[in-house]
């Protein structure tokens, strides 16, 4: 990592408050606060505290099924080639019910075989957005009808938030845990 990894024993009061907010939230007491994006954001706890709150909503409070959110996250990680993010969320996506074959197809860029219309719609919306920086009226309308206003805002917010996470991981060259190979080509 380009920034020094902070020792939890030497955190400032603001950094400690951010770490406590992460661990007392939905990620739980074993959340890694000095690794991944949090390890970077601890260097700016004013930013990091708010960013982790948005992330907690995206993962645990969004008006979307958890598997749909995780699918959007791995699509975003793939787009930005965020190795740490894909490694972390591929496992969660599988735990939440995304078939391993789908996760593997996202990882390798192989054609996706999706038997669920909601996941196919998420793939179409996210891919369309990444390719054109826009979403067609037809895709927007279908997503609005499928996920509702709140769900669609949460879906777009999740893609945006994990774009931020990807930028953080990539710019600061956050490393994977020892012994873990980069999952994305």
Token pair in block for residue 165? 């996470």
- Alpha carbons 65 and 134: distance in angstroms, whole number: 24
Region 75-87 average pLDDT: 98
User: What percent of the chain is predicted at pLDDT more than 70?
Assistant: 100
pLDDT tens, 33-58?
999 999 999 999 999 999 999 999 99
Token pair in block for residue 72? 């959007």
pLDDT for 185: 80
- Alpha carbons 73 and 76: distance in angstroms, whole number: 5
Q: How many CB atoms lie within 10 A of CB 110?
A: 11
Domain boundaries, the chain: 8-60, 65-170
């Amino acid at each position: 990592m380009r920034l020094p990894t902070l020792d939890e024993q030497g955190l400032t009061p603001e950094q400690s408050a951010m770490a406590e907010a992460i661990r007392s939230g939905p990620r739980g007491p074993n959340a890694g606060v000095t690794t991944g994006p949090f390890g970077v954001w601890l260097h700016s706890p004013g930013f990091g505290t708010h960013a982790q709150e948005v992330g907690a909503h995206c993962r645990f409070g969004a008006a979307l099924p958890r598997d749909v959110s995780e699918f959007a996250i791995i699509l975003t990680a793939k787009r930005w080639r965020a190795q740490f993010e894909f490694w972390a969320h591929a496992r969660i996506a599988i735990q939440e019910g995304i078939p391993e074959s789908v996760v593997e197809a996202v990882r390798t860029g192989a054609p996706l075989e999706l038997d669920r219309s909601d996941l196919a719609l998420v793939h179409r919306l996210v891919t369309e957005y990444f390719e054109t920086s826009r979403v067609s009226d037809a895709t927007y309308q279908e997503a609005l009808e499928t996920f509702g206003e709140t769900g669609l805002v949460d879906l777009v917010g999740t893609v945006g938030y994990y774009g931020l996470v990807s930028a953080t991981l990539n710019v600061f060259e956050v490393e994977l845990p020892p012994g873990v190979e980069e999952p994305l080509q």
